[in-house]
Structure 1
Amino acid sequence: MSVLSAAVPASGGAIRTGALVSYGLLGMPLAFVALPIYVHLPGLYAEAGLSLASIGTLLLIARAWDAFTDPLIGWWSDRRGVRRYAIAAAVPMLITGYAGLLAPPQGPSASLWLLGMLFLVYLGYSLASVNHHALGAELALDPHQRTRLAAAREGFALAGVLLAAILPGMLSSSLSEGLAQLRVVFALGLLAGVMAIWRLQPVARPVSQATGQVFDALRAPAFRSLLRVFAFSGIAAAIPASLVLFFVADVLQAGNYTGLFLGLYFVAGAAGLPFWVWFARRRGKAFAWGAGMLLAVLSFAGAGALGPGDTVSFAIVCLLSGLALGADLALPASMLADLVERERIGAGSCFGWWNFMAKLNLALAAGCALPLLGWLGYVPGAAGQAGHAALAWVYAGVPAFLKLVALGLLWRLARRERES
């Protein structure tokens, strides 16, 4: 008998800590994929001879491919019912593509190499992450246990982000050597995560989508409503993430503290996960997520009032917004898992569209916020009170407004569910 089937009987008992670790562990190496791609790749491929414009274009093409494969992968995995096998199939793609990305060839071939390795990594990542999320919806029958599973996954993912940021420097004084060793850590972590997943046995069988279509999940009104809340809340969170480096450097004039601020943010997010799990059980997931949104709004409002030298105050903002991040990470996915069980929709299809929206949120945040800043007169690194005021408004004011919109949509969704 597997660890999870022993811990979660058909009636929906408590999940043991070992099962939570077995499920969540895969989130750590998967989190390694994002940071090196956006932090290290531009410099690596610029040294290989590519222009920054070419690198940016290739990243955009690959990201578009990545987003549109998620719903297809989710639909396919529902049809086949092969969550763990799909995750295992992603391993060679991820290991090969990740190693290739961090070792670019010199010369004209670097552009094709970058695009090919990005396609491979993104395909493997989507195959693994969509099925990992869907599996979490099928490992427990009790709503609170689904929240614990989602929190475990996101907690390991936050740890993975931090490790991917600090390990290259810890492993070697040379960045290239540190990245080479990071590939080994990634491969070992990925294998360990898949082996841990293999011990788990779903207690809720996947809903057959054999006669369904890719867009079937979007035809469910409850799913569309929850997806709208997730979209507005996600864009609100992605805008500050896109602009934080500019805000710290030009508004706070504290660029040397950027790493500290980001560390506080992610550590607070991970540390707050147990609180949101507890609070959701006491007051309900929608109420707890709404409380997290209000906390984020207060954090944004505080950030908008800061100026040069307000590093301590911004550290407090990072802690509060990081705590709010914990609610965004654990509760929406858990609510979706409950919806999958209640509406009898394919978990893979739902999480495929969910991941698509998460990636679209990032694209919309950068694609809207950066041109808006340019139109308002902000120039990175240039002095100018008007430009800095515009940056503070877009960094803090726009996300606060979008979070309030998301909160209103969430309140309406919760009221409709109470009345039904």
Structure 2
Amino acid sequence: MEASSGPQSGQLTGWRGHLRYGALGYPLAFVALPLYVILPAHYGDTLGVPLAALGFVLLASRLLDALADPLLGLWADSRLARASGPWAGMAVAAVVLAAGVWAVFFPPVEGTGPRLVWCALTLTLTYWAYSACAIAHQAWGARMGGDAPARARWVAWREGLALAGVLTANGIATTLGPAVMAATLSVSLVVALALLRRAPRPPCQPESAPTPGFTWADWLSPLHNPEFRRLLGIFLLNGIANAVPATLVMFYVQDVLHQAEALPVFLGAYFLTGAISVPLWLRAVKRFGPSRAWVLGMAGYVLCFGPVITLEAGDATAYTLICLASGLMLGADLTLPSTLLAGVVQRQSLATRGAPGASQPSVPQEGIYTGWWQLATKLNLALAAGLALPALQAWGYTPGTQSPEALWHLTLVYGALPCALKLLAGLAWWRWWARAGLE
């Protein structure tokens, strides 16, 4: 197996090729926001399901989803190893995904118990289908290879179009409802898959090659790579720092700023500048390298977001400016960690191939690495909630409270904790990455 060195010869690799690859990021972004934000309110308010029972179902479904990610990564590797590629499997998963979104939002059963069972089954299936598409898509891009700027371009097109999907989904789901959102998702999936079928493809084995098998050693192999473990540790610290404000933003806007009606504007400003910033971070990769550009983004986030702890009720303009400024740092977090991950896998593949007495790897490894990366991404959300919500409850905060002390604790957890975690991530980068001479 050749190490990831670029697309197959004769394929389109200009902006049209990048667009065809990245287009799937747009509809996949439609799934994340509705399932994590809209669905709980839909089942709780519209369908009358008790929140405690619903919370258990959501937690169990997300855990099953996260645990399946490494196995889905192995599946993606097995398809990337073949000339036919993963497209057919992704198309099947996309059909299940679209059907699952319709099913989970519009249960054909009545009563609390049947609706909870329906939600558990359809949501788990939808999560798995989404993860299969997302992991295969990310592994496809990682396997395109190239130097750091080239790897960053594949990631930037995927994540830039995903941000466009987040902006669209935010508007449709909150104003036009889940039916229009599901219809838009279905149509955009068809278009994106049609484009992906004509996208540049990474190197592969001939169809005549034997079908590789997998062992538990394959499943755990990324965790034996010290370079990946270092990157994963930095990613977890930085990811929790991003997930804490995402978990608490509704509480902060409602109870501290008293601007709940302006939440879509704040989120729109944040994601819009995030999308605009992606080309700027691509330039930073060329000038500084991906890891140094990433740590610059961490430092910039602390400077831009830190002043949020000084805001009071009615400071909508100041908060909008903070959203715009910190959104510029979002492009770094969306583009650069995955660029570094692709480099780690590329170096591991070359090292394995060149080791004395070592056999060449029979399959790509981008999928299994991406599977563990996706698991860590979802773990970030769980850890953020596990850190922030119990701390706030212990400090006397409940939604809707106007206790000055409780609101100050909310402000500290929302604004100061992420900045502290970003600084820890920067320190970890220095000790685990920069001092080791990694890039």
TM-score normalised by the chain length of structure 1: 0.91
Select 1:314's aligned residue among 316, 319, 327.
319
- Deviations, residues 92-124 of structure 1 (Å, cap 9, x unaligned): 210110110121232232111111110111110
* Higher relative contact order, chain-length normalized (CA < 8 Å, sep 6+): 2
Q: Is the 8 A contact 2:397 2:410 kept in 1?
A: yes
Q: Is the 8 A contact 2:396 2:406 kept in 1?
A: yes
1:384 aligns with 2:403: yes
Q: Distance in 2 between matches of 1:127 and 1:214?
A: 16
Specify whether residues 209 and 138 from structure 1 end up closer, same or farther in structure 2 by C-alpha distance, changes over 3 A only: farther
Task: Report the 3-state secondary structure (helix = DSSP H, G, I; strand = E; otherwise coil) of the residue aligned with 2:258.
Answer: coil
Deviation at 1:417, TM superposition (A): 4.2
Deviation at 1:79, TM superposition (A): 3.4
Partner of 2:29: 31
Deviation at 1:45, TM superposition (A): 2.3
Deviation at 1:38, TM superposition (A): 2.8
Task: Report the 3-state secondary structure (helix = DSSP H, G, I; strand = E; otherwise coil) of the residue aligned with 2:160.
Answer: helix
1:192 aligns with 2:211: no
Partner of 1:366: 385
Q: Distance in 2 between matches of 1:221 and 1:281?
A: 26
Where does structure 1 lack aligned partners over 5 or more consecutive residues?
none
Q: Distance in 1 between matches of 2:239 and 2:67?
A: 18
Q: Distance in 2 between matches of 1:404 and 1:92?
A: 42
Deviation at 1:15, TM superposition (A): 3.4
Select 1:332's aligned residue among 331, 337, 346.
337
Partner of 1:66: 65
- Deviations, residues 248-280 of structure 1 (Å, cap 9, x unaligned): 122222222211111100001111000001111
TM-score normalised by the chain length of structure 2: 0.88
1:167 aligns with 2:172: yes
Q: Distance in 2 between matches of 1:252 and 1:48?
A: 30
1:290 aligns with 2:290: no
Partner of 1:89: 92
Deviation at 1:392, TM superposition (A): 0.9
Q: Distance in 2 between matches of 1:383 and 1:30?
A: 38
Residue type of the alignment partner of 1:86: G
Root-mean-square deviation (CA), in Å?
2.3
Count residues in correspondence: 408
1:103 aligns with 2:106: yes
1:154 aligns with 2:159: yes
Partner of 2:208: none
Residue type of the alignment partner of 1:360: L
Q: Distance in 1 between matches of 2:237 and 2:66?
A: 18
Q: Distance in 1 between matches of 2:72 and 2:15?
A: 30
Q: Is the 8 A contact 1:140 1:202 kept in 2?
A: no
Partner of 1:348: 367
1:139 aligns with 2:144: yes
Q: Distance in 2 between matches of 1:213 and 1:8?
A: 25
Q: Is the 8 A contact 1:236 1:399 kept in 2?
A: yes
Q: Distance in 2 between matches of 1:55 and 1:270?
A: 33
Deviation at 1:167, TM superposition (A): 2.0
Q: Distance in 2 between matches of 1:96 and 1:253?
A: 38
Identity of aligned residues (%): 39
1:15 aligns with 2:13: yes
Residue type of the alignment partner of 1:187: S
Q: Is the 8 A contact 1:293 1:324 kept in 2?
A: yes
Partner of 2:55: 56
